Every structure is written in C-alpha cells, then in structure tokens.
Structure 1
Amino acid sequence: MAALRGPNSRLRDTIDATGCTYEALAKDVRRIAAENGEILLWTFTYFPGAEFT
C-alpha cells in the first residue's frame, strides 16, 4: 500500500491559475486518454470548492 501524502499544493495552484474547473479538467484528461486508447474509470474524489452534478 502506498504511503499517505499531503495535498499537492503546486498542482492545485497551477489548476487555479488556469481558471479551469476540476470537472472540466477531468473531462479533458478523460478525452485525451481516450484519444490515445486509454479508458479511465471515474471515481468520486472530493475537491474543496468543486461542484459535481
């Protein structure tokens, strides 16, 4: 089992700076993965401030 780690503040700051929502970023990651033959399964992870519908 992998060791628990703290939040990746550099990644969070970079995402915040782009103005992209976590949901939009996740959709883009899944789309790009699919274009390259990978299927990513969606699992719910809570991101403070993120709105999931």
Structure 2
Amino acid sequence: MQVPQLGEAGLTIESGSISLSTYEIIATLLMIILSHRDNVKAIQSSNHI
C-alpha cells in the first residue's frame, strides 16, 4: 500500500485534483501489471511442475 502515499505526495507537490487522478490511474495500471505478471509466473511455475 505504498502507491497511495506517492499519490498524496504528488497531490501535495502539484496541489491539483487532476494530478491526483493521474497518479491514481498510473498506480492502478502498475498494480494490475504487477499482479498480472505475478499470476503468470505462478501459472508457468505450476505448469512446469
């Protein structure tokens, strides 16, 4: 849960709701990509076994 802290920091620096929403979108995409990669690795490792 470290990503929301980055969004709050970005909001504090730029002080704008648009920047906050941008950080939220980027954070969400990163979370999806990272979780997808972890799931793919888990599936591949389980298939190799």
Both proteins in one fold, TM over 0.5: no
TM-score of the pair, normalised by structure 1: 0.32
Bigger radius of gyration among the two: 2
Q: Tell me which protein shows more helix as a share of its residues.
A: 2
TM-score of the pair, normalised by structure 2: 0.35
